[in-house]
Chains A and B, each alone.
Chain A
Amino acid sequence: MADTLSLFERRFALLLSILLAAMGMTMVAAARHGVMAVHGFITIALGVGLVLALGRVYYSAPPVAERAGRFYDAPTRLGIAMTLIWAIIGMGAGVWVSALLYWPDATPAVPWTSFGRLRPVHTTGIIFGFGGNALIATSFHVLQRTSRARLAGSVSPWFVLIGYNLFCVWAVTGYLMGSTQSKEYAEAEWYADLWLVVVWVTYFVLYMRTLARREEPHIYVANWYYLAFILVVAMLHIVNNLALPLRLNAAESLPVWSGVQDAMVQWWYGHNAVAFFLTAGFLGMLYYFLPVRSGRPIWSYRLSIVSFWGITFFYIWVGSHHLHYTALPYWVQTLGMTFSVMLLVPSWASAGNAIATLNGAWNKVRDDATLRFMFVAAVFYGLSTFEGSFLAIRPVNSLSHYTDWTVGHVHSGTLGWVAMIVFGAIYTLVPQLSGRETMASSRAVEWHFWLAVAGTLIYVVAMWNAGITQGLMWRAYNENGALSYSFVQSVEKMAPYYLLRTIGGALFLAGAVICVLNCRATVLLAKGEAADRPLVRQPAE
């Protein structure tokens, strides 16, 4: 990494690494013990590691002068590696906690292995670790390609990636030690949240500065989506995480929101994390990699623009559908429900646009597993957005809420849509960045594809059955007005579905392991750099 930097940039990076280590030392010195001190030690280790890495190449030859005329792909490589590492951590934790639901007695009598601590490791590992790294890595790639410009900074891309992963590590290790804000998908404590703000602002500035350098008159729609992701996630993150630390040298804090306002802010955040983290950014990925891989033009330019604004406008309203039939006022619930239904149209327009783009390339979909990943992603995107709008309707929600149907819905989105499009993008990017035409093994990609599809289907179908069974059992009364089933009976009924879910998840994880090995083999067989690296100037200039 450091050999891509000029001497001045190496000095600057060195300074940042020393500051990072100093920040770690401050945390250790202030906290002395507990979660914050452990995080301080992790930070010191990272800072010192970076100093050593920079020192090793400090005196090596500076990069060639014409690097300014090339795309900057080294950060993308790191981002993809981190994506794959987090995929294994996050999916592994997921399969493990899912197995615990089937074999609860398998929980070792050690606090950090308990279900409650491992579950956020799974969600954070997947959403932020796997999804977030994939988004950052591909956004760097897509931004440069569609703007015909090099990233506007040499150190800041590294700062964004490394800083972001430090946040993920702090978050996940914190949960293992029992530290949490108890807000779903926002469990990390206050100083980690502050750190993420710094990283995110750097990311935003880098993105905007690169866009400003673009050689193209218009901004490609993928960049609109990535920008919406960066901007809205910043807003959500800051508002939902407003908290007062109990002490400045400890991890604990109290949220500034309370009662039903807290619940509303949390689910405004939570649902828009789905919208802008798990949807908008990945739509950006889809809008770039699908046409590139299929060699087809986007079916409708107008549709892509209208659905972008539709999705951004409608999504912001719908968070309250997570709080149907609660203390939240009825009118807020009605708004959440109706906007969820209207949201379906732009969502389907995006999915339809993606699928129509494949017109004329169906033979490629049949032959190329990578393109098939993207096709399946678009289909699952359509399915899970339909399901989402449906579940948001109040009476439907009275059946589905608090059941495993919700879990099934989330995973049809995350496995079927998000992970599929990420794998499609990875299988396009990894050979390209290694100067190759194909992955090391195309058969392995094919295997991965079928494992992933089978795993997703087993998982989702099992959870639909589980959720509807639970919902019906909980609301059944006999003719004398007594409940027909006790809660325990509904739990016992779940056993086969929970086993199936574990199997589905394990298949999906197996596919991801194959992907990691295949990517490693491909990188080891690299034939140089990406073929498109010299920046092509517009012929008009």
Chain B
Amino acid sequence: MSDTTDPRKLPSADPHTGNRRVDPITGYDTTGHDWGGITELNTAFPKIVIWALALTFLYSLVAWILLPAWPLGRDYTRGILGLDQGEQAIEGLRELTDDRLPWLSRFSDGDLRALQSDAVLIRQAMPAAERLFEDNCSACHGATGRGGPGFPVLADGYWLWGDDPGGIAETIRFGINSDHADARIAEMPSFDWMARADRLALADYVARLPGAGPVHSSLPGAALFTENCAACHGDGGRGDLEAGAPSLTDDAVIYGQDRSTVMETLSRGRRGVMPAWIDRLSAAEINLLAIYVYRLGQPVGEGAQ
């Protein structure tokens, strides 16, 4: 390896003057290096790059003076604006909350039915309630409350637990089968101990219940139903609100009321979980949601803006 730095000894240099090859296109001379054919122009350092560097450095300098920037052992330079991102975050949150406060605070207590009939308030509040519902509830109940397999429809006016905003708020607050101590409990036991033939008879009976006028008391399942199920689901499956057991005669279903789904319900049992929201949403937000959800089930027109 030849480590000369004498310009006259470099390849492509004139051995007497040390001048190097000039690039015919740009007119610049080359540095004299040659790496397997690659050469370099000896272009002067472009001024604009120095200016650009100076400019960005100036920007940084200003930022360092204004903002918290350099560590000093256990402390740091605070910056003359005295900004603190924790305080800024709290301040920003407060401003947003203040925008909502005038109308949202009215939901924190008070008679939900009375609030509901205040048309101006409702018009202000419902867009916010819709966002709240979509952000917190739609993953299970669907964006418009239309439910899905395992998750009840909230937009049909059928209520298992209380059919007024107060009762609904309670459901939202504590949940159903949630881990909250005050949760509503709804447990459909498993009937896997029952003979398969009996379960089939029951499934057949239950599947025929919705909509049909006369009770099919002659079906073999009818007696089994009275014996095993009526305690929770009410006589003839008309529902018993206290136990959270749904009516089996109406069209509203959670899991499905066709034969095979009912067979599955019977052999495995059901225990749907609705989370408790008391620790995640404010009291006002829960009440707002209760009214929103309640209104989903109202026929259009009634109670609408």
Chain A residues within an 8 Å CB radius of B76:
329, 331
Chain A residues within an 8 Å CB radius of B101:
481
Chain B residues within an 8 Å CB radius of A333:
85
Residues A303 and B46 in contact in the complex (CB < 8 Å), given A292-B37, A330-B84, A538-B2: yes
**Among candidates A217, A487, A489, residue contacting B3 with C-beta atoms closer than 8 Å:** A217
Residues A334 and B2 in contact in the complex (CB < 8 Å), given A299-B43, A306-B45, A341-B59: no
In the assembled complex, the Cα of A298 lies from the Cα of B39 at a distance in Å of 6
Q: B60 to A339, Cβ gap below 8 A?
A: yes
In the assembled complex, the Cα of A528 lies from the Cα of B149 at a distance in Å of 67
Residues A342 and B60 in contact in the complex (CB < 8 Å), given A330-B68, A482-B100, A482-B127: yes
Closest chain A residue to B30 by CB distance? Answer: A297
Q: B56 to A480, Cβ gap below 8 A?
A: no
Which of these binds chain A: B128-136, B162-170, B266-274? B128-136
Interface size of B by CB at 8 A reads 64
In the assembled complex, the Cα of A500 lies from the Cα of B151 at a distance in Å of 34
In the assembled complex, the Cα of A21 lies from the Cα of B134 at a distance in Å of 56
Residues A480 and B127 in contact in the complex (CB < 8 Å), given A342-B60, A486-B135: yes
In the assembled complex, the Cα of A329 lies from the Cα of B74 at a distance in Å of 12
In the assembled complex, the Cα of A220 lies from the Cα of B125 at a distance in Å of 68
Q: A331 to B69, Cβ gap below 8 A?
A: yes
Q: A216 to B35, Cβ gap below 8 A?
A: yes
Residues A220 and B38 in contact in the complex (CB < 8 Å), given A303-B43, A344-B56, A483-B131: yes
Question: Per-residue 0/1 for B31-44: is the Cβ within 8 Å of any A Cβ (1 yes, 0 no)?
Answer: 10101111111111
Chain A residues within an 8 Å CB radius of B128:
480-483
Cβ distance B264 to chain A, nearest Cβ, rounded Å: 18
Cβ distance A381 to chain B, nearest Cβ, rounded Å: 16
B49-106 residues with Cβ-Cβ distance < 8 A to A are 49, 52-53, 56-57, 59-60, 63-64, 67-71, 76-77, 79, 83-85, 89, 96-101, 103-104
Chain B residues within an 8 Å CB radius of A291:
38-39
In the assembled complex, the Cα of A217 lies from the Cα of B1 at a distance in Å of 6
**Among candidates A215, A297, A482, residue contacting B23 with C-beta atoms closer than 8 Å:** A297
B124 within 8 A of A: yes
**Among candidates A216, A330, A477, residue contacting B85 with C-beta atoms closer than 8 Å:** A330
A145 within 8 A of B: yes
B218 within 8 A of A: no
Q: B83 to A330, Cβ gap below 8 A?
A: yes
**Among candidates B35, B52, B89, B135, residue contacting A220 with C-beta atoms closer than 8 Å:** B35
**Among candidates B77, B104, B125, B134, residue contacting A486 with C-beta atoms closer than 8 Å:** B134
Question: Per-residue 0/1 for A283-303: is the Cβ within 8 Å of any B Cβ (1 yes, 0 no)?
Answer: 000001001100011111111
Q: A338 to B59, Cβ gap below 8 A?
A: yes
In the assembled complex, the Cα of A345 lies from the Cα of B40 at a distance in Å of 21
Closest chain B residue to A540 by CB distance? Answer: B2
Chain A residues within an 8 Å CB radius of B38:
146, 220, 288, 291-292, 297-298
Which of these binds chain A: B4-12, B184-192, B244-252, B253-261? B4-12
Residues A331 and B43 in contact in the complex (CB < 8 Å), given A297-B38, A485-B131: no
Question: Per-residue 0/1 for A124-153: is the Cβ within 8 Å of any B Cβ (1 yes, 0 no)?
Answer: 000000000000000000000110100000
In the assembled complex, the Cα of A220 lies from the Cα of B39 at a distance in Å of 10
A335 within 8 A of B: yes
Q: Lowest 7 CB-CB distances: which A-B pairs, in order?
A: A481-B99, A482-B128, A486-B134, A360-B25, A338-B60, A300-B43, A481-B100
Which residues of A are in contact with B by a Cβ distance under 8 Å?
A: 145-146, 148, 213-218, 220, 288, 291-292, 296-304, 306, 310, 325, 329-331, 333-335, 337-339, 341-342, 344-345, 348-349, 359-360, 477-478, 480-489, 532, 538-541
Given A331-B69, A338-B60, A481-B100, 12 more A-B residue pairs with CB atoms under 8 Å apart are A145-B35, A300-B40, A303-B49, A329-B76, A331-B71, A338-B69, A477-B96, A480-B124, A482-B128, A485-B131, A488-B138, A540-B11
